Structure 1
Amino acid sequence: MVGTALDLVGERRRVVLGIAGVPGAGKSTLADAVVAGVAAARGDDWVAHVPMDGYHLADVQLERLNALSRKGAPDTFDAAGYAHLLRRLVDEPDSWVYAPGFERTLEQPIAAAMVVPPSARLVVTEGNYLLLPEPRWQAARAAMTEVWYVTGDDDLRRSRLVERHVTFGKSPDAAAAWVEQTDEVNALRVSAAADRADRVVVNGPEGWSFAS
């Protein structure tokens, strides 16, 4: 998988690799693994990781939009800002490009929490909605050379989601309700666009593998 990512760059100055999938599918884990593998092969400065999560709208904006209860849905992200960042990464490879991060404890975006240096040839980004067939998300997709879609066991995925929500402060009952009423609603929209991916990655018991 690392070799495939390296081949994607080839002789290009910089490429953006997207990793999509439903909530809890393992997108961040795969992104971390690809980044670590590429860094081991080419050096830490050769690769960067910029998740979509930094473009969550802050709670103050979600309250203004009466959308706090749907936090994590496609319209609760600054998709245009995310697309602009990805386009800058491709068009301005010799610049230091700052990007927002997302603080899980606060559940809030943090401005300029990360930076992509000019030395980065591969930028890995990951998020639920990279493949949605909507103009604001298609603008982000247009900046990515490829998008890989992560899939795996749904029961395990849902249990991991509940554990994640509990870890960050929800009660077990509230976490289970959020997964059922919010995460799974979003998952249906994401999975409906899976056929738009360039590659499918299976998150299986023996590790990661490309679907045949």
Structure 2
Amino acid sequence: MIDYKININGLDVDAHYTEANIKEIFIPLLERLTLIQKEKSKRILVVLAAPPGAGKSTLCSYLEKLSKETKGVTEIQAIGMDGFHRRQEYLTTHKTIRDGEEIFMVKIKGAPETFDLPLLKERIQKVISGENCGWPIYDRTLHNPVDNVITITSDIILLEGNYLLLKEEGWNDIEKYADYTILLKANENMLRNRLIERKAASGNSIEVATSFVDYSDMVNVRTCLQKSKTADLTLEVLEDSSYKCIKN
């Protein structure tokens, strides 16, 4: 078991990856992406979609690290769509409809409609053009995105997010920018427990965290699990945090 400690969006994360997963899934994936990039002779975009709580940000960060340590593969650069959350001041002043009730968007922060999708697409187009450009991150301690924290420079860009393969208007377009797609799946109850723990870690009581997760996050989990497109590679996240290849 390989331990991996990293700060993701302002929170410290302790992750663990099995040597079997690294040897049988991760390194072959990096080799495949390297081959695609060399064949196309341009910057490529890899899209990884997963439900909230599946560990996608941590996995992508680890894959970036692994690519730098593995001979014969092109280094990848991992980025996320969380930097395109609409700002807190927007979410607290704009409303949407949930279950027939008009509510402020902040109550369902993380739902597809709470992201700035046009801005995300605009920035993706800059990335695939080969331009070195800025990219935002989301800071959970600030509860807001911070722009241009990352500068895109690599030939393989790994973009992760919940809705990047979503079969809904607007989101449908993102797949056409991707040279390769990855989908993570996981058990709903496992994701619920992880999300409650993560929400509590950002300063909320267990009661508040549980209420938010059940009202908001679990809707997003089901949206991702039930409405995502088929990907080139599909992995299942198991209870022990290891990965099983479903489609390769």
Mapped partners of 2:187, 2:225: distance in 1 = 13
Which of 39, 52, 59 lines up with 2:88 in the alignment?
59
Match of 1:207 in 2: 242
Let me know the Cα RMSD of the aligned residues.
Answer: 2.1
> Structure 1 stretches of 5 or more lacking a match?
none
Mapped partners of 2:36, 2:227: distance in 1 = 22
Mapped partners of 2:207, 2:136: distance in 1 = 31
1:5 aligned to 2:43? no
Match of 2:150 in 1: 114
* Structure 1 pair 62–45 and aligned structure 2 pair: CA distance change class (3 A): farther
> Structure 2 stretches of 5 or more lacking a match?
1-25, 95-103
* Structure 1 pair 72–202 and aligned structure 2 pair: CA distance change class (3 A): same
1:104 partner letter: R
Which of 90, 97, 118 lines up with 2:133 in the alignment?
97
The one of the two structures with greater contact order (alpha-carbon pairs below 8 A, sep at least 6) is 1
Match of 2:116 in 1: 78
Q: How many residues align?
A: 208
Structure with bigger helix share is 1
Match of 1:139 in 2: 173
* TM-aligned CA deviation for residue 193 of structure 1: 2.2
CA contact (8 A) 2:140 2:202 kept: yes
Structure with bigger strand share is 2
Mapped partners of 1:138, 1:210: distance in 2 = 24
2:169 partner letter: P
For residues 170-206 of structure 1, what are the alpha-carbon distances to aligned partners after superposition, in whole Å with 9 as ceiling and x for unaligned? 1101111111110111112111223432221122337
Mapped partners of 2:80, 2:176: distance in 1 = 16
1:151 aligned to 2:189? no
- TM-score, normalization by structure 2: 0.77
* TM-aligned CA deviation for residue 22 of structure 1: 1.1
Correspondence list, 1:177-196, <5 A: 177-196=211-230
2:243 partner letter: W
2:246 partner letter: A
